[in-house]
Amino acid sequence: MFEIRSLKSKVILQIVLLILTIPYAIPLVQMFLGSLGGKGFLNYKAVWDTGVVPIYFRNSLIISAGVILLVYIFSMTAGFGFAKLHIFGKEVFFWLILVALTLPEVILLSPLFVTFQQMHLFNTFFAVILPVAALQLPFTILLARNFNSGIPNELMEAASIDGANVFSMFWYVILPLTKPIASSIIVLTLINSWNTYLLPLLFLQSPDKQTVTLLPQYFQGEFTNDQTKILAAAVLIAIPEIIVYLLMQKNFEKGMSAGALK
Amino acid sequence: MKKARVVLVVLVALMLMMTTVLAGCSSSKKTEDTSTETSGEVVWWGWTPGSPTNEKYIAEFNKQYPNIKVTWKQTSIDDYDAAIKPALANGQGVDAFEVSAGSGNGGVRVFGGQAIDLTDAVKKALGDDYKNKLNASSITTMTVDGKLKGLGVGTVYSGNLWINQDLFDKYNVKVPTNYEEWKTACKTFKEHGIDGFVQGAGQGAFNMDTFHAIADNVSPGTFTKATRGEVKWTDESIVKALELWKGLFDDGIMQKGALGLQQYPDANNLFMSQKAAMVMMGSWYTSNTLPDTMKAAIESASSSEKPFTLIPINFPDIAGTGKTGSMFGDLDYSTAVSATSKNIKAATTFAVWLGTSQSGQQIIADSLNVVPSLKSATPNWDSVKLVNPEKQNDAVKKYLENAMSSVDNARFAGINADMNQAMMDVLAGVAGGTITPKDGAAKLATTQADSK
Amino acid sequence: MKKKNITLKATKINGLPWILPAFIFVVGIIYYSIFYTFNLSTLDWNGLDPVQTRVGMSNFTKALSDWVFWKAIRNTIVFFIITFVIQNFLGFILAAILHTKVKLATVHKCLIFIPTILAPATMAPVFRLLFSPQGMLQDIFDTLHLGITVDWLSKPNSALFILMIVAVWEFTGMSFILYYAAMSQIDKEMLEASRLDGAGNFRTLWNMVLPNCKGTTVSLAMLGIIGALKTFDIPYLITTGGPNHATEFLGTYIYRQGIRQSHLGYAAAISVMLLVLAISGAILINKMNKGDEK
């Protein structure tokens, strides 16, 4: 965006950038340093010794996978439908879905615990997967719809000339083209489902169903609050997220670039 | 737009129908007790004292009852209520759970309705004269509507200060017994780069302890009477107590930024890493006189200092009335058994063992964390080794004896949820200067009246 | 078989079956909760009692005369305005800089976005430590002999400001990515043309780049207002709404009243008002946006 000619300007720009981004690194450094207090790397061993780290990771994985699956399927189909197909009262449906964006998670708690009780879903992963997915969908459907709008109609017409029905059009033409936005949707959904805190806290009771976000609880008793181990746990939770993001970075950016929000 | 209207109306109608249908679906689940007195699986919920201590208790329990599998489920103290409510309402995944006398978390008055009556079980274990064998308040505070809903495990008392005697010796500071001495001590320590007194005033519960101690110093017993409505909150002595509370902040006794700190972990860490010389903690802190416990606490404070001489002292006589040494306490936690559990018998065995058996209560006593409910369980001083036995043994013994002899002075038991919140707000407001002591006292009075 | 009017045919396919599953799912869970909350708001109930007392609109009148409620709203507005401006300003500038040839661009991009990935629940203890006298900042100030005490979470005014810093830290990444994406779409030739006309860097930025990112800015405004109203994790986990409600938000107040103090009806009433505010806010921004495009 900027045209930088002279060396002096280049250097200034680089320094400005550095000054702007260093504050973002500070909390990360604090987190790492804090986790090394007291017993140093033994804190990580202590967190591992609780024996629950693999189980909690597995549970978070299951939940995230479930949410991503639901969100992907619904976003792709609904995004396609809204963008390309004819629907009676389309905007009403869409607007109703968007309004759901305004809902804070907190409000879901009471109604859902009564309902899940009656449907015997309590203490099952579904109790977390379903609400988390429902909260993601308004935004992801919006993203998918915008992306689909950008796909030229000619491609679909060409397919229909070849005798394809709607489903084939979707499967063979549209879907492969949506890879970029799919990456964005997957990364965003992964972040939100890996990080959910309230829903697992309240809806998952069994010790073997807890998620990684509840790992710090282990070190927060009534009269104990072991900061060093809490931070070590925090670092352990953060690492997988960062790795996944780094791996999917290119695709994520492409998806957002391809006219995500106009 | 007409098209849109039609669609909207149809959809809304559909949703209303769905809602009523779902609300109408009721299911009655009959829970069968599949356990016996000596076998079963028990999930035990609580917020304290935390792993690995709870696992030690479970291991001891299993020596006597090897066929009852107990799993400890920990939540943080703040989230306990929120997490256990749906679990109890749902009737699944909770067999035994901790309850407390107050309303801060796990209040027995709130959750007692979901627990079974344990009177018969206790009678079976201790005989009909069980009331003589157990700490009196552990029975009264756990009885709701005439039913014994929880078996007290141990009581904690508050009202005193703990000091780092080594730091006092190092800088030749006199242990404070009144306001002036306290101010001087703090000033001297500050000159050496250490906080004299530290408190996590961002955590309301501990502020309430300090306020209670001051109130008892001004006029013993008034605090408790006020919670019962026998004395008005706007009484002179309460206003004076609030003024003295404010004074702690204005006169530099409370450290800078106290309102933004939590007692755990911030204040505790400061004291444990020897960056502060005095802290207001209660009888639960006694466990830090044990070398291993103190070492763990120091390490969690990211410090590599060695264990130091921890001594309890009376709350300084800041009101100048000469009335000090008052202690107030509640059951720290009790064990209740969920009425909808599938392991009622096994869970009851566990609750009874933890709260009334000699073996269970003895291990509780030796951890010096709470004062056991069973009168016959006292710490085994022969085998319990403190950090600095010369300086600590007598002081700690006397301290515990004094605490246990306190009568009719509940810590949180007499305070309901709304008063809890109001008190935290008023104390924070007075300390920060946003509300005067007089107005604060008035607020307490109105909240108490409204919440009845 | 030849089909007539091919262009029309494609869009004549009924899309209802495609959107219905997603629609029912989202609407089912979320609107059910909304209606349930409407119902709850007229009750006085603690969630466990078998008896529920109906109290009509009194929960609402209670909220309107509750100073904590108004404080929460005031906090939300202040929070939204300040974080919106700072976050998006930074996101925009950073996106512009990173669209220029700079060294280590990927490292910077990652540093900016990684905060968005980390769970607030995970980072809360870090921030409490960082902004306390035991944290890194205090160490830095002490080494520089600046004599400042880092106790900013203890004073009502600075506590809110610190939370805003945390929010900016967390969400600049989002704003950055969106602006970066929008800028990738700007016609390079247009920029060239304006440079040939002699426009400097800042002129170009202001007159050409910014207007082209308008859509992004509007979307961020809508997401921002809704996000501000929904704010829960940051204030709850770092300051629990304190000291003395200085950092109370509608979300934290609802949680505290409903779950911790068991006043479910009252919490529901506040929730209803929150929803009304959120929808009004979104509609307002939408209208303002449409109004501009005349």
Based on the fold, state whether residues B289 and B335 are members of the same structural domain.
Answer: no
Is a pLDDT exceeding 50 seen at residue C44? yes
Here the contacts of B419-424 (C-beta below 8 Å, separation 24 or greater) are: B419/B103, B419/B227, B419/B444, B419/B447, B419/B448, B419/B451, B420/B102, B420/B103, B420/B104, B420/B204, B420/B208, B421/C261, B422/B447, B422/B448, B423/B204, B423/B208, B423/B211, B424/B204, B424/B205, B424/B207, B424/B208
Q: Are B73 and B389 in contact (CB under 8 A)?
A: no
Domain membership flag for residue B21: no
| pLDDT greater at residue B192 or residue A206 | B192
**Closest CA relative to residue C125, chosen from A231, B241, B279:** A231
pLDDT at B28: 45
Name subunits touching C (3+ CB pairs < 8 A).
A, B
Based on the fold, state whether residues B282 and B224 are members of the same structural domain.
Answer: yes
Q: Are C111 and A24 in contact (CB under 8 A)?
A: yes
CATH 3.40.920.10 for the A54-261 domain, yes or no: no
Minimum distance, in Å, between the CA of residue B365 and any CA atom of chain A: 17
Of chain C, the percentage scoring pLDDT greater than 90 comes to: 9
In whole angstroms, give the CA distance from residue A37 to residue A39.
6
Is A152 part of the contact surface with chain C (CB cutoff 8 Å)?
no
Q: Which residues are CB-contacts of B326 (< 8 A; sequence separation ≥ 6)? A: B159, B213, B216, B217, B220, B315, B406, B409
Minimum distance, in Å, between the CA of residue C41 and any CA atom of chain A: 12
Biggest CA–CA distance in chain B, Å, is 89
Chain B residues near residue A112 by CB distance under 8 angstroms: none
Of chain A, the percentage scoring pLDDT greater than 70 comes to: 95
Total structural domains in chain B? 2
Is B269 part of the contact surface with chain C (CB cutoff 8 Å)?
yes
In whole angstroms, give the CA distance from residue A68 to residue A75.
10
Mean pLDDT of chain B: 86
Q: Find where tokens 């306990």 sit.
A: B80
**Which structural domain range is residue B366 located in?**
40-156+330-372
Cβ–Cβ of C282/A4 closer than 8 Å? no
Top residue of C67, C134, C148, C255 to mutate, by most chain B CBs within 10 Å, is: C134
Angle at B189 between CA B184 and CA B191, to 5 degrees: 100
Q: At what angle do helices A7-35 and C136-143 cross, to 10 degrees?
A: 120
Cβ–Cβ of B16/C133 closer than 8 Å? no
In whole angstroms, give the CA distance from residue B84 to residue B105.
10
Could you tell me the two tokens for A237? 């939770």
Is B270 part of the contact surface with chain C (CB cutoff 8 Å)?
yes
In whole angstroms, give the CA distance from residue A60 to residue C119.
13
Is a pLDDT exceeding 80 seen at residue C126? yes
ipTM of the complex: 0.80
Top residue of C19, C244, C248 to mutate, by most chain B CBs within 10 Å, is: C244
Domain membership flag for residue B66: yes
Q: CATH number, domain at B339?
A: 3.40.190.10
Based on the fold, state whether residues B319 and B339 are members of the same structural domain.
Answer: no
Q: Which residue of B18, B82, B113 is in closest CB contact with C260?
A: B82
Name subunits touching B (3+ CB pairs < 8 A).
A, C
The four Cα atoms C166, C170, C174, C175 give a dihedral, to 10 degrees, of 20
Could you tell me the two tokens for A130? 């379903």
Based on the fold, state whether residues B298 and B273 are members of the same structural domain.
Answer: yes
In whole angstroms, give the CA distance from residue A218 to residue B76.
8
Based on the fold, state whether residues B242 and B263 are members of the same structural domain.
Answer: yes
Q: Which residue of A37, A93, A223 is in closest CB contact with B49?
A: A223
Based on the fold, state whether residues B307 and B342 are members of the same structural domain.
Answer: no
Is B202 part of the contact surface with chain C (CB cutoff 8 Å)?
yes
In whole angstroms, give the CA distance from residue B57 to residue B360.
7
Based on the fold, state whether residues B148 and B164 are members of the same structural domain.
Answer: no
Is A239 part of the contact surface with chain C (CB cutoff 8 Å)?
no
In this structure, the strands spanning B68-74 and B96-99 are unpaired
Is a pLDDT exceeding 70 seen at residue C282? yes
pLDDT at C11: 56
Q: Which of B372, B396, B427 is the last residue of a domain?
A: B372
Neighbour-count burial for B188-217, b at 16+ CB within 10 Å, e otherwise: bbeeeebbbbbbbbbbbbbbbbbbbbbbbb
Is a pLDDT exceeding 90 seen at residue B329? no
**Closest CA relative to residue B424, chosen from C261, C258, A133, A239:** C261
In whole angstroms, give the CA distance from residue B42 to residue B93.
9
Amino acid in position B288: N
Element (DSSP H or E) covering residue B446? helix B437-451
Domain membership flag for residue B20: no
**DSSP string of B193-233, one letter each residue:** T-EEEE--BTSHHHHHHHHHHHHHHHSTTHHHHHHHTSS-T
Minimum distance, in Å, between the CA of residue B143 and any CA atom of chain A: 23
Is B82 part of the contact surface with chain A (CB cutoff 8 Å)?
yes
Could you tell me the two tokens for C139? 């160490």
pLDDT digits 0-9 by tens, B131-169? 888 887 888 888 988 899 999 998 889 999 999 999 999
**Shortest CA distance from C247: residue in chain B:** B260
Chain A residues near residue B95 by CB distance under 8 angstroms: none
Phi and psi angles of residue B8, each rounded to the nearest 5 degrees, phi first: -60, -50
Q: Which residue of C132, C134, C244 is in closest CB contact with B434?
A: C244
Name subunits touching A (3+ CB pairs < 8 A).
B, C
Sign of CA dihedral B195, B200, B202, B208: negative
Interface B-C, measured as beta-carbon pairs within 8 A, has a size of: 87
Identify the DSSP state of A170: I
Q: Name the B residues in 351-410 with CB < 8 Å from any A CB.
A: 369
Average pLDDT over residues B5-16: 59
Phi and psi angles of residue A239, each rounded to the nearest 5 degrees, phi first: -55, -50
Domain ranges for chain A, please list them: 54-261
Chain C residues near residue B259 by CB distance under 8 angstroms: 154-155, 242-243
Is B86 part of the contact surface with chain A (CB cutoff 8 Å)?
yes
Based on the fold, state whether residues B45 and B108 are members of the same structural domain.
Answer: yes
Cβ–Cβ of C18/A77 closer than 8 Å? yes
Is a pLDDT exceeding 80 seen at residue A46? yes
Chain C residues near residue B15 by CB distance under 8 angstroms: 27-28, 31-32, 35
In whole angstroms, give the CA distance from residue C170 to residue C178.
15
Q: Which of B372, B398, B432 is the last residue of a domain?
A: B372
pLDDT digits 0-9 by tens, B122-133? 998 888 888 888
pLDDT digits 0-9 by tens, C261-273? 778 888 889 988 8
Cβ–Cβ of C169/A107 closer than 8 Å? no
Q: At what angle do helices C67-98 and A7-35 cross, to 10 degrees?
A: 130
Is a pLDDT exceeding 60 seen at residue A261? no
In whole angstroms, give the CA distance from residue A66 to residue A78.
18
Domain membership flag for residue B205: yes
**DSSP string of A27-96, one letter each residue:** HHHHHHHHHTTTTTTHHHHHHHHTS-HHHHHHHHHHHHHHHHHHHHHHHHHHHHHHHHSB-TTHHHHHHH
Based on the fold, state whether residues B108 and B223 are members of the same structural domain.
Answer: no
In whole angstroms, give the CA distance from residue C225 to residue C274.
11
Domain membership flag for residue B35: no
- Considering only CB atoms, which residues of chain A are within 8 Å of chain B? 34, 37-39, 50, 88-89, 91-93, 96, 113, 115-118, 120, 122-123, 201-203, 205-207, 216-229
Identify the DSSP state of B47: S
Question: How do the residues of chain B divide into helix, strand and coil, expressed in percent and rounded to 5?
Answer: 50, 15, 35
pLDDT digits 0-9 by tens, C56-87? 888 898 889 888 899 999 998 899 899 999 99
Domain membership flag for residue B176: yes
Chain B residues near residue A89 by CB distance under 8 angstroms: 3-4, 6-8
**Closest CA relative to residue C83, chosen from C72, C91, C93:** C91
Average pLDDT over residues A19-28: 90
Indicate the SS3 state at residue B15. helix
Identify the DSSP state of B367: T
Element (DSSP H or E) covering residue B68? strand B68-74
pLDDT digits 0-9 by tens, A73-128? 999 999 888 888 888 888 888 888 888 887 778 788 778 877 787 788 888 899 99
Domain membership flag for residue B318: yes
Neighbour-count burial for B350-364, b at 16+ CB within 10 Å, e otherwise: bbbbbbbbeebbbbb
Q: Are B428 and C154 in contact (CB under 8 A)?
A: no
Domains of chain C plus CATH, in order, are 52-293 (1.10.3720.10)
Q: Is A110 left (phi over 0), alpha (psi -120 to 50) or beta?
A: alpha
Is a pLDDT exceeding 80 seen at residue B16? no
pLDDT digits 0-9 by tens, B339-382? 888 899 999 999 999 999 988 999 888 888 888 888 888 888 88
Model pTM score: 0.80
Q: Are A210 and A200 in contact (CB under 8 A)?
A: yes
Domain membership flag for residue B384: no
Based on the fold, state whether residues B211 and B138 are members of the same structural domain.
Answer: no
Based on the fold, state whether residues B103 and B208 are members of the same structural domain.
Answer: no
What's the Cα-to-Cα distance from A74 to each of A71, A140, A176, rounded to whole Å?
5, 9, 16
Is C154 part of the contact surface with chain B (CB cutoff 8 Å)?
yes
Chain A residues near residue B76 by CB distance under 8 angstroms: 216-217, 220-221
pLDDT at A1: 66
Q: Which residue of C134, C152, C242 is in closest CB contact with B269?
A: C134
